[in-house]
Structure 1
Amino acid sequence: MKGREPEAGKALTVWKERLGKLFQRYKYALLVAAAGVVLMALPALGGGETREESHRQSVQEVEFGTEELEGRLEEALSQMDGVGQARVVLTLRGGPTQVLAQDTQHEVREDQNQSSQTTVVISRGSGTEEPVVLQQLSPQYQGALVVCSGGDDPGVRLRVVEAVAALTGLGADKISVSKGK
């Protein structure tokens, strides 16, 4: 038994050296593989996004988009001759909408016609599914109010109405221009 202990120690040392050399040779491949395992585990750890959180995000995006457009309009109108400082308020008729892909099946039996529609979804792994979006429609504006220091001049009012109509798609009857302080 005593003769085998030094041999076992030598064998262990040899294995340690071999493993060390293998690790040195393949350390980058092992690092990439470990990173891949961590990235694959992330969706499972996060639990995914609920529909309510997704809806909240889309509402925030609409509000941000409207505020951003109002700011850009204010900046552009203020640069126009005779307008002065401008303040713009836009109202929405409806937010952005999505046209989803639908799978339609028609069934004809004797005197009855039956059809059913289901939304096409894509599986994203980890048990999450997303609908297939065919088209993203922009929000529709209901009206616009522009308050500017040059709002009492008919020429300025016309140019402001034309500019807002061109950028929002609103008709002249949906845009109000008023003189500000």
Structure 2
Amino acid sequence: MKNDFLRRLFCPENRQVRMKMAAGLLIGIALLLCSRFVEGEPKEQVAVENVQQTTGERAERQLEAELERVLSQVAGAGQVQVLLTYATTAESTPAREEKIEESNGNSENTVSRESTVVLMEDGSGGQSPLILTETAPQVEGVLIVAQGAGDPVVCDELSRAAQALLQVPAHKIAILKMK
């Protein structure tokens, strides 16, 4: 039966049918390719990535600034600058709404799942994702540049303070004298 169909399709008098089928196939492929370029990334995915990136960077800069403020209060430290390196960055987990649809048709059970990010309106009329959890960045190394780092007692106090605040071992903390 399959062979009969193919023989009839490829006989010389069915040339127009073959041309129409080929044109339909090419149009379908072109539409699929165009949809990838036109659609782009979903807006909610872009919003989630932007929030996660800015939240992470903000948390990292805020941690450095807070550490500078605290360490500059150590007796003899003077002006202090801090640079942190991170093993992991800050991450935010957005709230998601999941819709599950089940349908029974023609002896086939199909289940479709759709997951969307829950968005909230902010004060300026824009939308941002609802954040469920945020994890702090994990500090891997600390560089402290201080005016008073020439004094070994001040260096020891700065090192102990950084160890206590950041849960970083002493061998991952470098303290240098500011010029």
Name the TM-score, length of structure 2 as normaliser.
0.53
Task: Quote the residue 1:160 is aligned against.
Answer: 158
Distance 2:93 2:54 in 1: 20
Once the two structures are TM-superposed, the CA of residue 82 in structure 1 deviates from its matched residue by 0.8
The structure-2 alpha-carbon separation of the partners of 1:132 and 1:53, relative to structure 1 and needing over 3 Å to count, comes to closer
- What's 2:90 paired with? 96
What is the SS of the residue equivalent to 2:143?
strand
1:146 is paired with a residue whose SS is strand
Counterpart in the other structure of 2:170: 172
Q: 1:115 is matched with which residue?
A: none
Residue matched to 1:54 = 48
Cα displacement string for residues 48-78 of structure 1 (whole angstroms, at most 9, x for unaligned residues): 9521221121111111111111111111111
Residue of 51, 60, 67 corresponding to 1:66: 60
Between 160-169 and 48-57, the greater mean CA deviation after superposition:
48-57
Of 148, 151, 161 in structure 1, the residue corresponding to residue 149 of structure 2 is: 151
Residue 122 of structure 1 and its aligned partner are, at CA, apart by 8.1
What aligned pairs does 1:134-149 form with structure 2 within 5 A after superposition? 136-149=134-147
Give me the whole-angstrom Cα distance separating, in 2, the residues matched to 1:99 and 1:174: 29
Which ranges of structure 2 fall in alignment gaps of 5 or more residues? 1-41, 96-112, 120-128
Residues in 1 aligned to 2:152 and 2:93: alpha-carbon distance in whole angstroms: 42
The number of aligned residues is 116
Larger gyration radius, structure 1 or structure 2 = 1
- TM-score if structure 1 supplies the norm length? 0.52
Contact 1:121 1:132 in 2 (8 A): no
| Letter of the 1:74 counterpart | E
CA contact (8 A) 2:92 2:131 kept: no
> Relative to 1, partners in 2 of residues 1:166 and 1:63: Cα closer, same or farther, differing over 3 Å?
same
